[in-house]
Structure 1
Amino acid sequence: MILEIAQLQVRPGQGAAFEAAFAEAQRIISSMSGYLGHELQRCLERAGHYMLLVRWESVEAHEVGFRQSPEYQDWRRLLHHFYDPFPTVLHYECIAGPEPRTG
C-alpha cells in the first residue's frame, strides 16, 4: 500500500463550494481499481488549506489507473479550478508504525 498526500490550497472564499464539489468527486476516486480509501482534512490554522490522503495499492494504480482514466477528466473538471497554487502530490510508503487494518 502507498499513501498519496496532496496539500491543497483553495482560493479564498471557495471553501464551501470546494467541499461540495469534493463530495461529488470522491465517488469518482472511490470507484477506481486499486483505490483503498481516502480522507480530506481541513486545516484549523490556515484558511482554505486542506490535506487529501488517498491510500492506493500501488503508485501505478494512482498514476496510471486513475490519472490516465476517462474518470480523471471528471475529477479535474470538478476540482482543479479551486486550487491556487496547484497542489504538490507525493507518494509515501510506511516504514514504521501500525499497519492499516483490512477487511
Structure 2
Amino acid sequence: MITEVVEIPLKAGMVEQFVAGVERSRSLFEESPGFIAFEVHRVIEHPSTVMLLIQWESVAHHMDMFRNSPQYTAWRANVGEYFAEAPRLLHTQTLVSY
C-alpha cells in the first residue's frame, strides 16, 4: 500500500466548495481499481491549503490506472476550479505506524 500525499493551495474562501466537490467525487474513487481510502485535511497554519491523503494498492494504480481514466477527468472537473495553483504531489510508503 502507498499513500498519495497532495498539497493543494485553494483560492480564498473556496474550502467549502472544494470539500463539496470531493464529496461529489466519492464514487469516482471507490470504483477505481486499487483505491483504499481518502482523507482531506485543512492546514492549520494556511487555512486555504488542504492536504489529501489517498491510499492506493500501488503507485501504478494511481498513476497509470486512475490518472488515465475518465474518473480522473471527472474528479478534476469537480474540484480543479478551486485550485489557486498546481497541486504538489508525492507518494509515500509507511515504514512505521502506531
TM over 0.5: yes
Partner of 1:89: 89
The structural deviation recorded for 1:45 is 2.5
The structural deviation recorded for 1:43 is 2.0
Pick the structure with greater CA Rg: 1
Superposed structure 1 runs of 4+ greater than 6 Å apart: none
RMSD, aligned CA: 1.2
Percent identical among aligned pairs is: 29
- After superposition, residues 1-103 of structure 1 pair within 5 angstroms as 1-98=1-98
Q: Distance in 2 between matches of 1:50 and 1:30?
A: 21
The SS at the match of 1:86 is: coil
Q: Which runs of 5+ in 1 are unaligned?
A: 99-103
Q: Which runs of 5+ in 2 are unaligned?
A: none
Matched length: 98
Q: Distance in 2 between matches of 1:88 and 1:43?
A: 14
